[in-house]
Structure 1
Amino acid sequence: MIYFDFAATTPLDADAAEAYVKVATEYFGNTQSLHDIGGQSQQLLESCREELANAFAINKKGLYFTSGGSEGNFLAIEALLSAPLKSGNHIIAGMAEHSSVHGVLKRLKKNGYEVTFIPLTSNGLMDMNFLLSSIRPETILITVQHVNSEIGTIQPVEEIAKIAKENKIHFHSDFVQSFGKIDVTTLAPLVSSFSFSGHKIYGPKGIGGVYINPSIAWKPFFPGGSHESGLRPGTVNVPAIAALTVAAQKIIGRLDKDHTKFQLLRETFIETLEPIKESVKVYQADDHRQLANIIGMRISGIEGQWMMLECNRLGFAISTGSACQIGMQAPAKVTEALGLDKDEAKEFIRISLGHSSTKEQVITLGETVVKIVKSFKMASRDRKKQSVLE
């Protein structure tokens, strides 16, 4: 089985795994314990916090560790709403946000907040005119993911941050798909908060983080917590944090190399689809606004779920969108944001590349997709002929 679902999760890096085991066995103390063993864990925790804060070019006082991106999105949004820059109850969000954001917003709507969802243009980017026209005097929060997890388009975070600042609006951005693939050091200080996750960058599952600008006097959603300055309850997972830090150091060190590699693999894969190009629609932006390792596409007339199962049968792991959404058997959020109809949405598939991906592998996948499509269309024609004869 050849893996092409790196946007869903990545394998654990060997050095990160080694760090996890070492810390779990040698630095097992509770960071809140007052004895020396607890103190050693606390010291290591703060060292990791400082290292990651430097990787983002942010103040470490605003960096908190969570169980992952979904919890980070939840805690950030709640924190910003607990300390708005002005009075109001209106939120602006991207229509294609991760399901964790949609889940929070759904609950907030029941609590009296109003939410305006911004669609994407045909090239998968935020409709900025729509966003600007949606701002009201009572708008207190904008939440827009940096990179879409299903088609890989890169949203203009710098421009949105400027708009938010001018209108005294908090701005949260989901950095889960961008951290480790894009240099975010110029963007991270501009937002009110952002989230990130370990298992998207070859770190462990169940660990991530959230940054909340230290100037914001947020109030905890969960009362009585003593860990992570009260942001969340529960003993801090120091082994996973150490492993996350190692994984982050490694992936940041190869940003340019990865970009070049994934751009080549992306172009190669799309070229192999040339024989069926009239049936293929790839959703993408210009190169400077497109994460190369995520390819979101659909093949006219073929359901994405069927294509995924056929690829799986032939030894390739691809997906039909965000893994957090698939379990609900709902179309990928991005298909709605792009304005696709129900049948078109069902045709969506996602192919995502990773460190182990090779040119030979993407060519073989592309050729396999071509064969599947040609066989499907031939079978469809035969069925139609048979139907006419009957």
Structure 2
Amino acid sequence: MNYFDYAATTPLDREAAEVYMKVATEYFGNSSSLHDIGGQAHILLENCREELAALLGIDKNGLFFTSGGSESNFLAIEALLSSPKKQGNHIITGMAEHSSIHGVLNRLTDYDITFLPLTSLGLIDEEELLAAITPETVLISIQHVNSEIGTIQPIKTVAQICQAQNIHFHSDFVQSVGKIELRGIAPLVSSFSFSGHKIYGPKGIGGVYINPAISWSPFFPGGSHEKGFRPGTMNVPAIAAMTAAAQKNNSNLADAYQKYNSWRKVFIETLNPINNWVNIYQANDDNQLPSIIGLGISGIEGQWMMLEANRLGFAISTGSACQIGMQTPAKVTQALGLNKQEAKEFIRISFGNSTTMEDVIRLGETINNIVNQYKIADLC
């Protein structure tokens, strides 16, 4: 089976797995315990925090470890709302945000929420964002990289707008950590989230950054771990493995970006014979993560295309795995203004470390064959 769903999850890196096993067996103490074994785990934990903070260009005092991106998004938003820069009850976010963002915002019944669509290039319209801001706006949440089409939002610009308007800014960095250089961007936001299993680390581990200048109140009262940010014994083996994976990814950012960009171009070229039926949802190169390709094939439902590709040995998806679990169309299709039929046609291709150029070409040829056979059968 050829795997093309790296945006959903990645295999655990072998070196990171070795780190996990070593820490789990040799540094197994509770990092909050006062004896020497606990102290060794605590030292390792803080070393990981310091290393990840350096990779991201942030103050380590604002970095907290969680169970993953979804929990990080939830706790970050709750933390920011516990300490707003001004009084108000208005929040702005994007229609295409991850389901965990929509989930936490939908429960905030005392707040008015504005959901912004995307332009045809899959980007937030800066003028529309400015027009949506009111004196009551206390929080803006815009993801950095969209998980379904890979468009890169103008985080620096949004951060400048938020700073000028005295508004907290949260950004979901789950699809950008380990894929884009972030040291010039991460310090600009009030908070951001990330996840280990998107960068060849373990599942069930992630992190959140909250600007240390913000005096947040914990969502879970009485917790003693992570300065009270969240309860639960620290998963030091997973944190160490995630840190090892992040270090490895970060050392190869430029080469990986260039490789995925060339594969993207080759894949799109292989679809030339059926380009009259293919719609690729993307931005220009400067605003596009090359490893994620969101597209639709006119007249063919994405789920059927996914099942056919699977039958022929290729694992692709119809969007975010979290959204698929809810049995609803990818949120990005609504944000792009696609109609119901176009939304059903959506599929996602995503590259990763084990992908080869030969795999990319064979996937493109396979999709060509599926479409041609479908169209012929449809004419009969």
Asked if TM exceeds 0.5, the reply is yes
Counterpart CA distance in 1 for 2:155 and 2:142 is: 8
2:117 is the counterpart of 1:89: no
Q: Deviations for 1:19-59, whole angstroms, at most 9, x for unmatched residues? A: 00000000000011110000000000000000000001110
Deviation at 1:252, TM superposition (A): 0.3
Q: Does 1:65 align with 2:59?
A: no
The whole-number CA distance in structure 2 between the counterparts of 1:105 and 1:127 is 21
TM-score where L is the length of structure 1: 0.97
1:368 alignment counterpart:
366
Amino acid at match of 1:69: G
Q: Quick one: distance in 1 between partners of 2:351 and 2:341?
A: 26
Could you tell me which runs of 5 or more consecutive residues in structure 1 were left unpaired when the two chains were aligned: 383-390
Q: Secondary structure at the match of 2:370?
A: helix
Secondary structure in structure 1 of the residue aligned to 2:275: helix
| Cα offsets for 1:237-272 (capped at 9, x unmatched) | 000000000000000000011011000100000000
Tell me the CA shift for residue 128 of structure 1.
1.2
* Distance (Å, rounded) in 2 between the aligned partners of 1:298 and 1:127: 23
Post-superposition Cα deviations, 1:63-118, rounded to whole Å, max 9, x if no partner, equal: 0000000000000000000000000000000110000000001101x2x1100001
The reply on whether 1:122 has 2:120 as its aligned counterpart is yes
Select 1:335's aligned residue among 328, 333, 336: 333
Aligned to 2:284: 286
**Structure 1 residue aligned with 2:251:** 253
Rounded to whole Å, the distance in 1 between the matches of 2:251 and 2:17 is 18
Partner of residue 306, structure 2: 308
Stretches of 4+ aligned residues off by more than 2 angstroms: none
**Cα distance between partner residues in 2 of 1:88 and 1:235:** 35
Q: How much does 1:328 deviate?
A: 1.1
Q: Quick one: which of 143, 147, 164 aligns to 2:141?
A: 143
What is the percentage of aligned positions where both structures have the same residue?
70
How far off is 1:129 after superposition?
A: 1.2
Which amino acid counterpart does residue 26 of structure 2 have in structure 1? E
Residue identity matched to 2:50: E
Indicate the residue corresponding to 1:386 in structure 2.
none
2:269 equivalent to 1:271: yes
CA positional deviation for 1:127: 1.4
2:211 to 201, 206, 213: 213
State the AA in 2 paired with 1:19.
Answer: V
- Secondary structure, aligned partner of 1:278: coil
Map of 2:46 onto structure 1: 46
Instruction: Give the letter aligned to residue 230 of structure 2.
Output: R
**Structure 2 CA distance, aligned partners of 1:157 and 1:328?**
28
Secondary structure of 1:282's match? Answer: strand
Q: What residue number does 1:174 align with?
A: 172
- The one-letter code matched in structure 1 to 2:69 is G
Q: Could you give the per-residue CA deviations for residues 339-367 of structure 1, whole angstroms, max 9, x where no partner exists?
A: 00111100000000001111110100000
Gaps in structure 2 of 5+ consecutive residues: none
Q: CA deviation at 1:130?
A: 1.1
Counterpart code for 2:268: I
Rounded Cα–Cα distance in structure 2 between residues aligned with 1:373 and 1:232: 49
* Cα distance in 1 for residues equivalent to 2:210 and 2:326: 30
Taking the aligned partners of 2:187 and 2:166, their CA distance within structure 1 comes to 16
2-side partners of 1:253 and 1:118: how far apart?
35
**Equivalent residue pairs, number:** 380
Amino acid at match of 1:88: G
Aligned partner of 1:324 in structure 2 is 322
- The one-letter amino acid paired with 2:86 is K
CA offsets, 1:102-147, max 9 Å, x none? 0001101x2x110000100001011111110000001000000000
1:159 aligns with 2:162: no
Deviations 1:281-305 (A, max 9, x none): 0000010100000000000000000
Equivalent-residue separation in structure 2 for 1:229 and 1:157 (angstroms):
28
TM-score under structure 2 length normalisation: 1.00
In structure 2, the partner of 1:100 is 100
Letter in 2 for 1:72: S
User: Secondary structure of the equivalent of 2:198?
Assistant: coil
1:204 to partner: Cα distance: 0.3
Letter in 1 for 2:80: L
RMSD, aligned CA: 0.4
- What letter corresponds to residue 14 of structure 2 in structure 1? A
Partner of 1:352: 350
Deviations 1:349-387 (A, max 9, x none): 0000001111110100000000000000100000xxxxx
Provide the rounded CA distance (Å) in 2 between the counterparts of 1:105 and 1:41. 36
Q: Using the alignment, how far apart are the partners of 2:325 and 2:169 within structure 1?
A: 29
